[in-house]
Amino acid sequence: MKKIIFADVTKEEKDANKIMMTIITIVVMICFCAVLLNYKTIKSLACISALLLAVTILICGYLVYIRPLKKKFIRWVASVAVAIVFTIYTIKGYNEGVAVLWSFLVPGALMLLAGMIEGIVVSAYLEIFYSITFLTPIHRQLAYAYTDSFRIRFPVLFLACILFSFYINYRMKEVKIKQMRERARMEVSMEEERRKIGKITMQTIFSICNAVDAKDSYTKKHSERVAKYSKIIANELRWSKQEQENLYNMALLHDIGKIGVPDAILNKHEKLTEEEFQQMRKHPIIGGEILKDFTVINDVSTGAYYHHERYDGKGYPIGLKGEEIPIEARIIGIADSIDAMNSDRVYRGKKDISYILEQLEQGKGTQFDPNIDEIVISLIKEKKLRLDR
């Protein structure tokens, strides 16, 4: 028999192969030993049946034990029941011996419906039982007298049925493995494409950030620092890696709306007029509109649109209050304020850390979310969030 073992088959199929080869060896040995044994000393066929059933149940119990019980228990109960039924059919010779012919369906049906291992074990039990029962003098103790030709042919045909069912079932498994391999290849290909798209996306984001920085020389690398601070805060909040990355990218683009603000206003050294200030306050709206159809990053427009909202409801452009403000925007907002205070601006110099901590304390519950504010203060004091200077 050709050895049907492939390197990448599942563990269950490897086990099935081993069991199949073992069973064939056992059947041959039993048939050989059966000729040598003196069965006149055996008073009851029930002894043989009980012994074979006990061995089958032990094998089933072992296989169930090494595998999840919940998934296998019902299959094994059904398989043992099938073995018992056809044992009784053989001994009693129901329907003038024809009932036992239904056992030809056992190998294929069990291998297909219950599993290869279950099907092989039960089919092997029946093959051993038929070999001992029909090919030795013990057939004289059966309740039904089977013909000589039936007794000789049946174990051979049943073994052929087992081998054929095993081969067909294995080929079906092989097809499934090829399909799984093809799906895996496609998934790898798709993952590579996602990485390429992600790389292009990040290059696009940094290009946009550089374009914003080019308009406002005093805030160069501001977006990158805000993104870094935001990610540190999100990590402290136990956000997932994916959520942290999404927030980071969102923060990188939070000031994209400044593209729509005239350079004269962005770089003005004097105090802005009321009209100029109103124009500056439009950059969150402009940013939100620019990013609203940018779907590569989830809800990316949230950071741009809401990062100037205040916890007390006095922010802009809408005036959201408290938990109404998306948490991403609350984080980006406080990170933005930290970097603004820690940077040279056209109208003032950078502030020291003590001043920044003082402003964070004063803004707790007014400008900033008090919980996030407290976390940021702790991160700065513990030097987990180091302000770039």
Contacts 24+ apart (CB under 8 A), 18-25: 19/117, 19/120, 19/121, 19/124, 20/120, 20/166, 23/120, 23/121, 23/124, 23/127
Give the class (CATH, top level) of 216-381: mainly alpha
Residue (of 251, 380, 82, 302) closest to 90 by Cα position:
82
What is the C-alpha to C-alpha distance for residues 115 and 110, in angstroms, rounded to an integer? 6
Candidate from 107-116, 194-203, 230-239, 331-340 with smallest mean pLDDT? 194-203
Average confidence score pLDDT of the chain: 79
- Give percent of the chain with pLDDT exceeding 90: 23
Residue ranges of domains in the chain: 11-187, 216-381
* Contact status, residue 190 vs residue 221, Cβ threshold 8 Å: no
Record the tokens describing residue 351, joined without a space. 């502030």
Question: pLDDT digit string (tens) for 66-125?
Answer: 444 455 677 777 888 888 889 888 888 888 888 898 899 888 888 888 778 888 888 989
Averaged pLDDT, 236-244: 92
Q: What is the pLDDT of residue 218?
A: 59
In terms of pTM, does the model score above 0.85? no
Please give the DSSP secondary-structure letter assigned to residue 271.
P
Give the number of other CB atoms < 10 A from CB of residue 273: 11
Report residue 76 CA to chain centroid gap.
29
Please give the DSSP secondary-structure letter assigned to residue 311.
T
Q: Give 196's pLDDT tier (boundaries 50, 70, 90).
A: confident
- Exposed e or buried b per residue across 240-261, where buried means at least 16 C-beta atoms within 10 angstroms of its C-beta: eeebbebbbbbbbbbbbbbeeb
What is the C-alpha to C-alpha distance for residues 259 and 287, in angstroms, rounded to an integer? 8
With the CA atoms of 39, 41, 43 and 44 taken in that order, what torsion angle do they form, in degrees rounded to the nearest 10? Answer: -30
DSSP letters for 9-21 = S-HHHHHHHHHHH
* Contact status, residue 369 vs residue 377, Cβ threshold 8 Å: no
Q: What is the pLDDT of residue 22?
A: 62
Angle separating helix axes 148-215 and 241-252, nearest 10 degrees:
30
Distances (CA, A) of 140 to 38, 134, 144, 227: 13, 9, 9, 88
Q: Give 2's pLDDT tier (boundaries 50, 70, 90).
A: very low
Q: Where are the alpha helices (DSSP H) in the chain?
A: 11-36, 45-65, 69-92, 105-113, 116-135, 148-215, 222-236, 241-252, 263-266, 274-280, 283-291, 301-306, 327-341, 353-362, 370-381
- Exposed e or buried b per residue across 113-145, where buried means at least 16 C-beta atoms within 10 angstroms of its C-beta: ebbbbbbbbbbbbbbbbbbbbbbbebbeebebe
What is the C-alpha to C-alpha distance for residues 247 and 303, in angstroms, rounded to an integer? 8
**pLDDT at residue 39 greater than cutoff 80:** no
Q: What is the pLDDT of residue 350?
A: 80
Give the number of other CB atoms < 10 A from CB of residue 281: 15
Distances (CA, A) of 127 to 130, 140, 162, 294: 5, 19, 9, 66
Question: pLDDT digit string (tens) for 250-272?
Answer: 998 888 888 888 877 777 777 78
